[in-house]
């Protein structure tokens, strides 16, 4: 009996798997590639495998943000996949809402006004995010990949590539200054006229609770955000933010560093200002990706704007009165 049990256990242990990247996945982050290959495996386990070097690309270690290339040979370690982890169907109302929020679509690109509260992808306890929802809505689509990310609580313009060459083309622009992204935010207090540029290095930190925070820290990654005042109110200011670099939580942390956190920011804001904003009806972070501008396709100027959600526009009306 004991020998039989041992044999069954050994048989159930997964083996090392090797995957070759095809043209359909060129430009995808390796962590997202692994999530698709290892459905049912917790996101934390995938990141641990990357950190420990269990995952190899062309026999070498890579970080989670590595973009896979055609022909890359990816070694996937023996991680047990939960076989009964069925795909969770998206809520019908969410699907209808997302369809209504599509701002632009052609054969290679979708631009959608992502709602606040929806992560761009699933993981860390989330059954699905924007990209998984879109794949369920478009089961016939051979290729759908996020071009860039937005914080879960941030709304606005988000690009999804329908072709690998479009993803690669826009990523090249994102690495330089080929994409102009503008956000609007309502910040605490009166933003000073002279503060048009915040340049402060950012570093990620993980608290004992497991919560990830970003702080201004010497030795962190160089980070720059430009700010412009749109309108001043008695206790807050509507500003436009243009991120020159693209760090996690960059606008939120730079606003706090300038002494004017964004209203509704439970992570970096102040309790008093957030409480007053809630009293006035604000139930979310007041940060919205309002526009994208780039040359697409090829040398044609592409510019698109995303309208404010009702929760944000209502607060503007209240403050205006």
Active site residues: 151
Decide if 281 contacts 315 (C-beta within 8 A): yes
Residue 201: Cβ-neighbour burial (10 angstroms; 0-12, 13-18, 19+) = middle
* H or E, element range at 175: helix 164-175
Using omega within 30 degrees of 0 as the cis cutoff, is the peptide bond preceding 297 cis? yes
Cβ atoms within 10 Å of 106's Cβ, excluding its own:
13
Please choose, from the candidates 167, 146, 173, 169, the residue with its C-alpha nearest in 3D space to the C-alpha of residue 158.
146
Residues in the chain: 321
Distance CA 303, CA 295 (A): 8
Residues whose CB is less than 8 angstroms from the CB of residue 219 and which lie 6 or more positions away in sequence, other chains included:
201, 203
| CA-wise closest residue to 114 among 162, 160, 161, 157 | 157
Q: Which residue has the tokens 């632009």?
A: 104
Q: Are 79 and 85 in contact (CB under 8 A)?
A: no
Q: Phi and psi at residue 111, in whole multiples of 5°?
A: -120, 125
CA distance 267 to 265: 5
- Strand, helix or coil at 59? coil
Cα-to-chain-centroid distance, residue 286: 17
- Cα-based distances in Å from 46 to 43, 76, 148, 204, 318: 5, 10, 20, 19, 46
């Amino acid at each position: 009996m004991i020998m039989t049990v041992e044999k069954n256990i050994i048989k159930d242990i997964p083996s090392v798997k090797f995957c070759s990247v095809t043209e359909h996945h060129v430009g995808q982050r390796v962590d997202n590639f692994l999530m698709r290959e290892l459905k049912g495996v917790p996101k934390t386990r995938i990141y641990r495998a990357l950190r420990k070097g269990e995952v190899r690309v062309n026999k070498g270690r890579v970080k989670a943000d590595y973009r896979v290339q055609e022909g890359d040979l990816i070694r996937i370690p023996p991680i047990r996949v939960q076989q009964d982890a069925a795909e969770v169907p998206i809520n019908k109302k969410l699907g209808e809402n997302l369809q209504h929020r599509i701002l632009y679509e052609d054969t290679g690109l979708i631009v959608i006004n992502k709602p606040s509260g929806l992560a761009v992808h699933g993981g860390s306890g989330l059954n699905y995010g924007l990209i998984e929802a879109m794949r369920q809505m478009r089961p016939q689509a051979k290729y759908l990949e996020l071009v860039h990310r937005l914080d879960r609580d941030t709304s606005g313009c988000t690009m999804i590539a329908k072709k690998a060459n479009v993803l690669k083309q826009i990523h090249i622009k994102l690495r330089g200054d080929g994409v102009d992204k503008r956000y609007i935010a309502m910040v605490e207090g009166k933003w000073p006229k002279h503060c048009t540029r915040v340049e402060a290095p950012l570093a990620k930190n993980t608290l004992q609770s497991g919560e990830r925070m970003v702080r201004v820290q010497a030795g962190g990654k160089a980070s720059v955000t430009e700010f412009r005042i749109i309108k001043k109110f008695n206790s807050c200011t509507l500003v436009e933010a243009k991120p020159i670099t693209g760090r996690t939580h960059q606008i939120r942390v730079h606003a706090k560093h300038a002494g004017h956190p964004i209203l509704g920011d439970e992570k970096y804001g102040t309790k008093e200002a957030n409480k007053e904003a809630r009293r006035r009806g604000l139930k979310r972070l007041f940060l919205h990706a309002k526009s994208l501008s780039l040359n697409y396709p090829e040398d044609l100027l592409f510019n698109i704007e995303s309208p404010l959600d009702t929760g944000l526009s209502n607060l503007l009306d209240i403050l205006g009165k």
